[in-house]
């Protein structure tokens, strides 16, 4: 028997339903039902609305190879928070002869129409909950932007986080200034990228600069020159972000 666990990036940050909790719930369920878990397939920082997950792909391959006869998950939303995708996955497991157990639905029987209906209702609720989370996150980011704060996510070049504060990063500010200077001298983005690489300026991930990365910096001129932050169509202003 196999077990599958998944946690998204947002769930990791909130530390609400981590892998360790899922494994414990699956272990408790398996003990009560006298089941033996041979292998855990774990996807961390993976969205529940995509099939492109490393552990999930391996799980499906192993099912197709006949290595797995049954699967247990802590809850349906660990498979997916998208109703269509969850149904597709369950259909595929059924087609491959893999029986699925759901720890928080201990009496679930996939051959019982009422149980299937209840399962589908829970899938729809999981999908709606995900949409509500996204909407709340969007509104929160819009409000931060209106107040002149960064919306969240990866910071633009030139800035670093110090706890909850965002500060200017001297080395990255130097890169930003050089990019705009090269533009003012009439150099195109590829020429600027080549210049940065020759001078030993690596990107945050250690990789060389590319034309696209230089274009991304130039596209934020209002941020670097005026302190204008943007999220979607919402704008705010914070002069502390001015670096040019």
pLDDT tens, position by position, 173-213: 999 999 999 999 999 999 999 999 999 999 999 999 999 99
pLDDT of residue 238: 95
pLDDT of residue 137: 86
User: Which H or E run includes 43?
Assistant: strand 39-44
Evaluate whether residue 220 is within a structural domain.
Answer: yes
Q: What are the backbone dihedrals phi and psi of residue 219, each rounded to the nearest 5 degrees, phi first?
A: -70, -10
d(C-alpha 149, C-alpha 227), whole Å: 10
**Domain harbouring 217, CATH code:** 3.90.1750.20
Q: Give how many domains the chain has, as a whole number.
A: 2
76, 107, 138 - which closes a domain: 138
**Domain harbouring 75, CATH code:** 3.40.50.1390
Is 94 found in the same domain as 182? no
d(C-alpha 194, C-alpha 182), whole Å: 11
In the chain (244 residues long), the average pLDDT of successive 10-residue segments reads: 87 65 93 94 80 92 95 92 91 95 91 91 88 88 94 91 90 95 94 94 93 95 96 94 95
Is 184 found in the same domain as 128? no
Paired residues of 236 in beta bridges: 229
Is 109 found in the same domain as 159? no
pLDDT of residue 11: 61
d(C-alpha 61, C-alpha 43), whole Å: 15
138, 165, 180 - which closes a domain: 138
DSSP state of 8: -
Evaluate whether residue 143 is within a structural domain.
Answer: no
Evaluate whether residue 144 is within a structural domain.
Answer: no
d(C-alpha 179, C-alpha 211), whole Å: 11
pTM for the whole structure: 0.63
Is 27 found in the same domain as 87? yes
Evaluate whether residue 191 is within a structural domain.
Answer: yes
Is 175 found in the same domain as 103? no
Is 181 found in the same domain as 131? no
Evaluate whether residue 63 is within a structural domain.
Answer: yes
Is 112 found in the same domain as 67? yes
Is 121 found in the same domain as 192? no
Tracing tokens 């192993």 back to the chain, one arrives at 62
- Give the residue numbers spanning the domain of 131: 2-138
pLDDT of residue 224: 96
71: left (phi over 0), alpha (psi -120 to 50) or beta: beta
pLDDT of residue 10: 63
């Amino acid at each position: 028997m196999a077990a599958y666990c998944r946690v998204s990036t947002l769930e990791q940050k909130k530390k609400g339903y981590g892998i360790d909790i899922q494994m414990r719930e699956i272990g408790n369920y398996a003990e009560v039902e006298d089941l033996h878990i041979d292998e855990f397939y774990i996807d961390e920082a993976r969205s529940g609305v995509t099939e492109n997950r490393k552990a999930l792909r391996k799980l499906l391959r192993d099912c197709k190879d006949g290595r797995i006869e049954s699967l247990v998950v802590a809850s349906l939303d660990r498979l997916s928070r998208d109703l269509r995708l969850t149904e597709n996955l369950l259909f595929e497991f059924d087609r491959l002869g893999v029986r699925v157990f759901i720890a928080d639905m201990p009496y679930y029987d996939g051959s019982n129409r009422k149980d299937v209906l209840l399962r589908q209702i829970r899938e729809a609720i999981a999908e709606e909950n995900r949409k509500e989370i996204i909407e709340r996150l969007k509104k929160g980011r819009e409000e931060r932007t209106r107040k002149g704060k960064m919306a969240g996510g990866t910071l633009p070049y030139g800035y670093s986080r110090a706890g909850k504060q965002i500060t200017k990063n001297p080395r990255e500010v130097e890169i930003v200034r050089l990019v705009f200077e090269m533009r003012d001298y009439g150099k195109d983005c590829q020429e600027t990228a080549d210049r940065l690489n020759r001078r030993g300026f690596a990107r945050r991930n250690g990789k060389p600069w590319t034309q696209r990365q230089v274009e991304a910096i130039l596209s934020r001129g209002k941020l670097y020159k005026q302190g204008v932050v943007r999220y979607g169509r919402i704008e705010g202003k914070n002069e502390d972000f001015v670096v040019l």
